[in-house]
């Protein structure tokens, strides 16, 4: 019965993906999904929150209920439940709380209410939803079906559903461990000191706490919806800058980072303008924090920093540090340098960059094609949580629709990050001789007339993807006439990993057109 209940969400999710985009049928299915995810909460609401951040692929899910519209438990049920929780802790509600505000705010795993204590002070109480642990276990039972489906999947598409189930199970156990969340809040206070006026973290009540509830000071501010609809472009730019800088600091310097970038987990403030503009972020939900290992932090730092500063590095050891399956990666090893170059484009771009121009899915498909499954299934389940964090962050920044200088933010923190990351030995690589130096650096375009060079232009190798804009229209037409297909040539070079070699060698009468990657 539990499995059938979960299929009520899982089946429409699969059907939605199969239906044509923007079709009336898909919109009806997604509207049904929105209702089911809001009612089921737990895993499904979190899945919905992640998918809703990609409305271009999951239209309709952007209407998923937020904290203000997710169904709350009724007042009488909360009163009884709160009394029960306090009794477990040896406390009496009427001696501690004089007022509970209703209806409160509901989330995927909890419900939050304003409370006034007997000493007259105002606080927030976060309550673990009753029976939520059992709900999560029921929802995760669906992985049993996925495991059976894996047995008939091609090798490149196979992954360990058991490991992913265990990882998600542990992730939810951590998020439901309120003692751990209290530790996360305390750890974040050191981070708050570093960023002074641009970061806020709630204060815990010094004594009124329990295993199934957290009492903390309320953080106020504007919602993400307010930011998107009411803030100026300059305010949004400053917010993007502050958020990116704070997350880089959390991850690389502290090794303790917010892991759930859902907009409902933050409040935002703004004051002043021009040179006096101040933007601050309130980090209000810290139940799911990343704690990357020293080797993971070092590997990611080297992957990005080596690209920015044009240093060569052994990429095989980086992938080993991230616990990738070397046997699966071996099928696409020659394309990994280009793949990482594309993944880290925001940080390597030489000026302010708009994430709407970062077509990562398209780039991965261009480089790997159907072999992308080797890459997707080679990663470890633990890496999934980190990827979810970074994708959530970049999705929030992209929705601000501003250009920011990611590379500049990185260089601003570079020394601090490098000094803070413990110097550990990265694992030995199972993939050998994979380096950034494998990538072509220069695109050379030459035109000869009777074997005499008349034109020689050198551009960054990445210009290959726009080579049709560099060749005269009449020449392009002649190339098409004799059967030279530039789209196919570009696709072939990307599929080879943008390695050095001839791209086009075309003769037109006494003229010769030579395009080379060096």
**DSSP letters of 287-307?**
SSEE---HHHHHHHHHHHHHH
- Residue 199 has what pLDDT? 96
Q: Tokens in use for 19?
A: 């239906």
- Residue 14 has what pLDDT? 43
- Residue 3 has what pLDDT? 41
- Residue 75 has what pLDDT? 86
- Residue 4 has what pLDDT? 43
- Residue 499 has what pLDDT? 92
- Residue 19 has what pLDDT? 44
Rounded distance between C-alpha atoms, residue 41 and residue 47, angstroms: 10
- Residue 219 has what pLDDT? 87
Burial of 289 (0-12, 13-18, 19+ CB in 10 A): buried
Q: What is the DSSP string of 433-446?
A: S-BGGGS--EEEEE
176 neighbors 211 (Cβ within 8 angstroms):
no
- Residue 161 has what pLDDT? 65
364-379 burial: b if 16+ Cβ within 10 Å, else e: bebbbeebbbbbebbb
Q: What is the pLDDT along the chain (518 residues), one digit of tens a residue?
A: 444 444 444 444 444 444 455 555 555 545 555 555 555 544 545 555 545 544 444 444 444 445 445 677 888 888 888 888 888 888 887 778 999 998 888 777 888 999 999 999 999 999 988 887 776 676 666 555 445 544 545 666 555 667 766 777 777 888 889 999 999 999 998 899 899 899 999 999 999 999 999 999 988 899 999 999 999 999 999 999 999 999 999 999 999 999 989 888 899 999 999 999 999 999 988 998 999 999 999 999 999 999 999 999 999 999 999 999 899 999 999 999 999 999 999 999 999 999 999 998 889 899 999 888 888 888 887 787 888 889 889 989 999 999 999 999 999 999 999 999 999 999 988 888 899 999 999 988 888 888 888 888 888 888 888 877 777 787 777 777 777 788 888 889 988 999 999 988 888 788 888 889 99
Rounded distance between C-alpha atoms, residue 225 and residue 67, angstroms: 12
Query: Which pTM value belongs to this model?
Result: 0.84
Pairing of strands 110-117, 257-258: unpaired
The pairs formed by 173-179 with CB atoms below 8 angstroms and a separation of 24 or more are 174/287, 174/288, 175/109, 175/287, 175/288, 176/109, 176/128, 176/132, 176/133, 176/136, 176/287, 178/126, 178/128, 178/209, 178/210, 178/211, 178/212, 178/213, 178/214, 179/211
- Residue 350 has what pLDDT? 94
- Residue 429 has what pLDDT? 83
Domain residue limits, the chain: 2-63, 294-437, 440-517
**How far from 190 is each of 183, 280, 292, 303, 406, CA to CA, in Å?**
12, 16, 18, 27, 24
- Residue 96 has what pLDDT? 87
38 neighbors 66 (Cβ within 8 angstroms):
no
- Residue 247 has what pLDDT? 97
- Residue 215 has what pLDDT? 95
Nearest CA to 292 out of 382, 161, 185 is that of 382
Nearest CA to 404 out of 261, 199, 245 is that of 245
From the CA atom positions of the chain, what is the Rg in Å? Answer: 26
Q: Name the strand (E) or helix (H) holding 115.
A: strand 110-117
Instruction: Enumerate the β-bridge partners of residue 125.
Output: 113, 215
């Amino acid at each position: 019965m539990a499995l059938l209940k979960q299929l009520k969400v899982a089946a429409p999710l699969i059907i939605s993906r199969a239906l044509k985009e923007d079709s009336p049928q898909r919109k009806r299915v997604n509207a049904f999904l929105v209702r089911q995810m809001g009612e089921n909460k737990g895993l499904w609401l979190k899945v919905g929150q992640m998918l809703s951040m990609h409305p271009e692929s999951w239209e309709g899910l952007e209407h998923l209920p937020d904290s203000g519209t997710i169904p709350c438990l009724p007042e009488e049920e909360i009163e009884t439940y709160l009394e029960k929780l306090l009794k477990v802790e040896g406390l009496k509600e009427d001696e501690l709380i004089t007022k509970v505000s209703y209806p409160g705010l509901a989330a995927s795993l909890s419900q939050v209410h304003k409370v006034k204590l007997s000493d007259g002070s105002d606080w927030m109480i976060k309550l673990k939803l009753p029976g939520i642990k059992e709900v999560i276990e029921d929802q995760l039972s669906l992985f049993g079906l996925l495991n059976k489906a894996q047995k008939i999947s091609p090798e490149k598409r196979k992954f360990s559903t058991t490991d992913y189930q265990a990882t998600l199970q542990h992730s939810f156990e951590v998020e439901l461990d309120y003692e751990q969340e209290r530790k996360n809040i305390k750890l974040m206070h050191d981070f708050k000191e570093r960023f002074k006026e641009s970061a806020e973290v709630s204060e815990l009540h010094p004594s009124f706490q329990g295993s199934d509830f957290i009492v903390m000071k309320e953080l106020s501010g504007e919602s993400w919806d307010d930011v998107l609809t009411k803030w100026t472009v300059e305010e949004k730019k400053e917010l993007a800058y502050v958020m990116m800088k704070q997350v880089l600091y959390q991850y690389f310097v502290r090794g303790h980072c917010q892991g759930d970038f859902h907009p409902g987990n933050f409040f935002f403030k703004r004051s002043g303008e021009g040179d006096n503009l101040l933007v601050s972020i309130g980090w209000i939900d810290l139940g799911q924090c990343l704690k990357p290992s020293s080797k993971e932090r070092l590997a990611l730092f080297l992957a990005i920093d080596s690209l920015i500063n044009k240093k060569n590095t052994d990429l095989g050891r980086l992938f080993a540090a991230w616990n990738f399956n070397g046997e699966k990666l071996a099928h696409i090893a020659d394309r990994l340098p280009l793949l990482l170059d594309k993944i880290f484009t925001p940080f390597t771009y030489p000026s302010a960059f708009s994430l709407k121009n970062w077509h990562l899915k398209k780039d991965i498909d261009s480089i790997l094609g159907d072999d992308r499954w080797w890459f997707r299934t080679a990663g470890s389940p633990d890496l999934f949580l980190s990827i979810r964090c970074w994708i959530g962050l970049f999705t929030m920044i992209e929705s601000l629709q501003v250009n920011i200088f990611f590379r500049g933010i990185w260089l601003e923190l570079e020394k601090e990050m490098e000094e803070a990351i413990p110097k550990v030995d990265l694992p030995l690589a199972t993939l050998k001789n994979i380096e950034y130096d494998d990538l072509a650096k220069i695109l050379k375009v030459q035109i000869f007339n009777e074997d005499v060079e008349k034109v020689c232009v050198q551009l960054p190798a990445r210009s290959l993807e726009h080579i049709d804009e560099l060749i005269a229209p009449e020449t392009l037409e002649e190339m098409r006439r004799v059967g030279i297909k530039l789209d196919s040539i570009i696709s072939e070079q990307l599929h080879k990993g943008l390695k050095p070699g001839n791209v086009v060698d075309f003769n037109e009468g006494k003229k010769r057109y030579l395009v080379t990657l060096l």
